[in-house]
């Protein structure tokens, strides 16, 4: 009898805590997505300055490698239930409604950042400037259909 009571108590407590844990997981995903996008944005801004100054070095190539690593896992951070209808985020429901298009856009970002990385590694400021411009345009192509206003 005591075992049954203990088992029932554990199960009830487990189910009671599940929504809280799920909410924390969702919040962590949203935070990680935001951190990746801030990293990409900051990287492109810094590399644009390097290109404009004509001073491209190994530091620039290393910096884009970090942003690229984040971009490669970005699309995987959008499981169902992590949109603006479920949690405070800028992720619009269109992401899940148009998943193949979103996934393709995320792939375009990766490809654009690979181009930035290659240009940064070459040390050629002109190539880097052009690659950064292309990457920024790629960002806008995803933000317009899939990113909503800042949540209140």
Q: Which domain CATH number covers 73?
A: 1.20.120.10
CA nearest 56: which of 68, 66, 46?
46
Q: Tens of pLDDT along 15-49?
A: 444 343 465 699 999 999 999 999 999 999 999 99
Q: Total structural domains in the chain?
A: 1
Per-residue pLDDT at 108 exceeds 70: yes
- The pLDDT of residue 151: 84
> For residue 10, is it within any domain?
no
> For residue 28, is it within any domain?
no
Per-residue pLDDT at 58 exceeds 50: yes
The chain-wide mean pLDDT, for the chain, equals: 87
- Return d(Cα 117, Cα 113) in angstroms, integer: 6
> For residue 3, is it within any domain?
no
- The pLDDT of residue 23: 57
Cβ-contact 87, 26 below 8 angstroms: yes
CA nearest 147: which of 94, 64, 81, 90?
90
- Return d(Cα 127, Cα 120) in angstroms, integer: 8
Q: What angle do CA 21, 81, 10 make, to 5 degrees?
A: 30
- The pLDDT of residue 11: 43
Q: Which runs of consecutive H residues, i.e. helices, occur in the chain?
A: 2-53, 58-74, 94-97, 99-122, 125-146
Per-residue pLDDT at 14 exceeds 80: no
The domain in which residue 93 lies consists of: 34-146
């Amino acid at each position: 009898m005591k075992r049954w009571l203990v088992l029932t108590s554990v199960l009830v407590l487990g189910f009671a805590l599940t929504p809280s844990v799920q909410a924390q997981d969702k919040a962590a995903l949203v935070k990680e997505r935001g951190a990746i996008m801030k990293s990409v944005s900051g990287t492109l801004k810094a590399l644009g300055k390097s290109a404009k100054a004509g001073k491209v070095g190994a530091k620039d190539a290393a910096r884009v490698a970090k942003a690229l690593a984040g971009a490669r896992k970005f699309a995987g951070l959008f499981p169902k239930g992590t949109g603006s209808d479920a949690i405070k985020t800028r992720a619009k429901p269109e992401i899940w409604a148009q998943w193949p298009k979103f996934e393709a856009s995320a792939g375009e970002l990766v490809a654009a950042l690979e181009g930035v990385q290659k240009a940064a590694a070459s040390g050629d400021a002109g190539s880097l400037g052009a690659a950064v411009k292309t990457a920024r345009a790629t960002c806008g192509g995803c933000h317009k259909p899939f990113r909503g206003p800042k949540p209140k």
